[in-house]
Structure 1
Amino acid sequence: MAGDRDEGGRDLTRKAAARTARLAALPVTYAGRRAVGFGKRLGGRPAEAVMTEVQQRTAEQIFRTLGQLKGGAMKMGQMLSVLEAALPEEAAAPYRDELTKLQDAAPPMATRTVKDILARELGADWQERLTWLDGGPSAAASIGQVHKGRWHDGREVAVKVQYPDAATNLRADLKALARLAKSVGPLFPGMELGPLVAELQERSSDELDYPLEAEAQRVFAEEFRDDPEIVVPDVVEVSETVLITEWMDSAHSLARTIAEGTTEERDHYGELFSRFLFSGPSRTGMLHADPHPGNYRVIPAEDGGPGRLGVLDYGAVARLPDRELPSAMGRLIRIGGEQDDEALLRGLREENFVRDKVDVDPAQVLEYLSPFIVPTMEERFRFSRAWMREVFQRINDPRNPAFNVALKLNLPPSYLLIHRTWLGGIGVLCQLEAEAPFRAILEEWLPGFADEPA
């Protein structure tokens, strides 16, 4: 027995080493391609054409690798896909197709493996409760895949099964990505990869905890049960690595709407997406903190009218101490929308976002926070890639005085996941190019935003 355990441990070590080696090869390969590209330019090919070719081939390798490795590697790719709209167009264009693939799919595991896990987790009689299971996965993601099935009471269900070694692979990937963030960073101009990896590491245990995920999903399902616009499937059964929920019929995910949707569809589902993101905290005490489009499903109306939005995956939620988003956020964003930079800076100091002895220009602070403020200044705001690129290029330009504001701001730990989710939500709305009554949504659901100035 001891020999078996030792052999198993050595096998896991070998697999982890192989995964790390594949991640480590990414920046090395990129450097090699740049060197080859330099040689081609010396040979007379236009520099712009060569660089596009280098970026395209590198993008294909990066996101193919991240997707095949699943775990933390794929989770990182999904987070980057949400923020793709912020990339300069010359950088985003070669990456966009590969990034989008990570929003809705991943390589599947064998059916035999799935059945072995179900027998281990649900018991030898699992087929008496789960009377039918589709042989192939309906969806696959970073730490698990989903099969369609039928429960013994006749309900169609979604059976999410965690990948073997998901915990080991997730933590190993994140450790490797933390080391590689600086060297891979140049591939994503204007994005800070280090904080993204650190945040994934911080909540990795929650992502792996299916009972904790089921607890959150039950709360959302109960609160949104009769909602005319939002659908949340209820939980049927849960174990350590299996989560069974009611099946949700849908046409496709928001990733398809981003790629092919009409203006009307983009606006409609962008508004529903915004309403869910901001109403959820006040209604459930939790923030759904994984806003990538694969988690949001389009449910067409039977009468041909406006459809509903289904929301999946509750493994990443922020459990809010006051059971709603902090009122300070709403108050400060409202002040920013009034363009009162002095009052904004005073409010940031009061909430310890700027420490007392830190000297910072109020106008530069207002400019730096513009991605969160500008959409609230109109009755309806049209989000777009062009707007997001312009904003992020400006605040990430070292020549712009606002560039140094990030170094002087202090983001309390309780705001980290909220900040990342809000930024990711803006990224999705910009990918959709959606117009939404963003100000009215915040007035209804963001504490502090609609309060009259003191």
Structure 2
Amino acid sequence: MSDGGTTSDDGPGTGGARSRNSGRDSGVPQRSISRAAKLASLPIGFAGRTTLGMGRRLVGAPANAVLTEVQIRTAEQIFAVLGELKGGAMKFGQAMSVYEAAMPPELVEPYRHAFTRLQDDAPPMPTSTVHRIFAGELGPKWREQLIELDESPAAAASIGQVHRGRWYDGREVAVKVQYPGAAGAMRSDLRQIGRLSRMFAVAFPSIDVKPLADELAERVREELDYGLEAQAQREFSAAFADDPQIIVPEVVTHTETILITTWMESKGSLAQVITDGLPSERDHYGELFARFLFAGPSRAGMLHADPHPGNYRIIGDGRLGVVDFGAVARVPGGLPPVIGRLLRAAVDDDYATVVDGLRSEGFLKPGVRIDEEIIRSYLEPFVEPARHDLFTFDRDWMREQAQRVSRPAREGLGTAMKINLPPSYLLIHRVWSGGLAILSQLGATAPFRGILEESLPGFAD
């Protein structure tokens, strides 16, 4: 399956694709009230669980047992609510689910299914709403362009759902339709989630929730602009057109809220491989996933910036399909070579060069002094995969890294507070962290060092 979009505006019966607002916000006020009420219910439940936990402490229950129970109940309620919502709540849930591998097993097991569902599914729009959007965007004779349409969505996600159809020239296509009122709903949800960061911190102590919600809110405009997504997908499709292992569907046409791409038949997504894949499948698709992430900047001048498993499709012939190009980091000329040079210096245990490089790139502010040994202790776990010809990622390793960064020791939060992340590196850092988390969920063994030597500028020099 695919959820891409397209750009050519030709086709019979329309006089070209048009952008209209017809039907776009129908019924939104009532849904917005319902969404707000569901999100608002979260802190009420959190307060009740916290009070219950304090009461149990007073009567002698062990502190760790009480905290675990509160975390589990809080997480269960969070995902029960997020799982019923689209827009920003679903988008946030999908983004956060990438970091499931960093969470303690006693917390993640009760709601791992909810994580997977957030990565790959969401409630569908009514058929009448879909038809109304088609008429508003493609014109009243839209069926002359889209001559066949499966009324049941093949996939549904945070801001749109995908239908299978046939274009007037005979091509099978994937039609992504944006939910009515998606823009307002996403911004509202993400603002409210940011305000609830204290509650999320109880359930997910290793994940800094507020910056994640803030970053997603800043990127809402780009992800809702299907013209930008069509352009990005067109460039990725061209860049990987001859790749024997990666497939990106071609763009057919687009409007403001509809993207149409060639249909890509798949057996599922990386989410299914994470759940029940064979070791050989985990290694194979984990390697392809890593190769795509690092090859994108040099080939297409962009980094696919939405690394959750539902965007990576398993093709029957062993290839990896990639969809959803609404979030990309544009890096003309590829990733900055300084990243590769500093990573290589760390691999070579040259931390004097690493510290100097971090300072010159703005990661260390003027006047901030930090010992080389502390930087080594803080960064070494993240450098470890690049030290080996083959490296096995797993959940225990990922949890160790998350705990190291979050602990209030010199090499943990004490060091993190001294490191500044320049805005130009924000998305790169998020994609790299998310990519490592997905590889750890897969439990994949991959030639990570070789991938870096092939695709990360500065690393092999």
Q: Secondary structure at the match of 1:369?
A: helix
* Structure 2 equivalent of residue 129 of structure 1: 145
* Structure 1 equivalent of residue 372 of structure 2: 362
Q: Deviations over 1:183-217 (max 9, x none)?
A: 32221112111110111111110010001100000
Contact preservation (8 Å) 1:367, 1:395 = no
Equivalent of residue 148 in structure 1, options 156, 160, 164: 164
Verify: 1:424 aligned to 2:434, yes or no.
yes
* Structure 2 equivalent of residue 252 of structure 1: 268
* CA distance in structure 2 between the aligned counterparts of 1:314 and 1:276, rounded to whole angstroms: 13
Verify: 1:24 aligned to 2:40, yes or no.
yes
Task: Pick closer, same or farther for the CA change 1:396–1:170 going to 2, 3 Å.
Answer: same
Q: Secondary structure at the match of 2:196?
A: helix
TM norm structure 1: 0.91
Equivalent of residue 330 in structure 1, options 336, 340, 347: 340
- Choose between structure 1 and 2 for higher RCO, CA contacts under 8 A separated by at least 6 residues: 2
Verify: 1:158 aligned to 2:174, yes or no.
yes
Equivalent of residue 319 in structure 1, options 320, 325, 330: 330
RMSD: 2.1
Shift of 1:32: 1.1
* CA distance in structure 2 between the aligned counterparts of 1:85 and 1:398, rounded to whole angstroms: 21
* CA distance in structure 2 between the aligned counterparts of 1:190 and 1:204, rounded to whole angstroms: 25
Amino acid at match of 2:188: A
Shift of 1:368: 2.1
Q: Deviations over 1:249-297 (max 9, x none)?
A: 0101000000000110000000000000000110000000001000000
Task: Pick closer, same or farther for the CA change 1:11–1:242 going to 2, 3 Å.
Answer: closer
Task: Pick closer, same or farther for the CA change 1:170–1:443 going to 2, 3 Å.
Answer: same
Amino acid at match of 2:327: A
* Structure 2 equivalent of residue 272 of structure 1: 288
Please give the residue correspondences for 1:24-63 in structure 2 after superposition, counting only pairs within 5 Å.
24-36=40-52, 54-63=70-79
Contact preservation (8 Å) 2:72, 2:203 = no
* CA distance in structure 2 between the aligned counterparts of 1:61 and 1:19, rounded to whole angstroms: 15
Amino acid at match of 1:164: P
* Structure 2 equivalent of residue 87 of structure 1: 103
Q: Deviations over 1:305-344 (max 9, x none)?
A: xx00000000000111x33111111111111111222221
Please give the residue correspondences for 1:47-446 in structure 2 after superposition, counting only pairs within 5 Å.
54-301=70-317, 307-320=318-331, 322-446=332-456
Contact preservation (8 Å) 2:161, 2:179 = yes
TM norm structure 2: 0.90
Amino acid at match of 1:115: H
Shift of 1:10: 12
Amino acid at match of 1:418: I
Residues matched between the structures, number = 438
Shift of 1:11: 7.3
Q: Deviations over 1:409-442 (max 9, x none)?
A: 1211111011001100001000000010001001
Amino acid at match of 2:138: L
Contact preservation (8 Å) 1:249, 1:299 = yes
Identity among equivalent positions (%) equals: 57
What are structure 1's unaligned runs of at least 5 residues?
A: 1-7, 302-306
Contact preservation (8 Å) 2:394, 2:440 = yes
* CA distance in structure 1 between the aligned counterparts of 2:75 and 2:199, rounded to whole angstroms: 15
Task: Pick closer, same or farther for the CA change 1:346–1:65 going to 2, 3 Å.
Answer: same
Contact preservation (8 Å) 2:375, 2:411 = no
Amino acid at match of 1:330: G
* CA distance in structure 2 between the aligned counterparts of 1:378 and 1:22, rounded to whole angstroms: 47
* Structure 2 equivalent of residue 5 of structure 1: none
Q: Secondary structure at the match of 1:149?
A: strand
What are structure 2's unaligned runs of at least 5 residues?
A: 1-23
Contact preservation (8 Å) 1:59, 1:98 = no
Contact preservation (8 Å) 1:55, 1:95 = no
Contact preservation (8 Å) 2:452, 2:459 = yes
Task: Pick closer, same or farther for the CA change 1:14–1:133 going to 2, 3 Å.
Answer: closer
Amino acid at match of 1:24: A
Q: Secondary structure at the match of 2:147?
A: strand
* CA distance in structure 2 between the aligned counterparts of 1:98 and 1:371, rounded to whole angstroms: 29
Shift of 1:300: 1.9
* Structure 1 equivalent of residue 14 of structure 2: none
Amino acid at match of 1:151: W
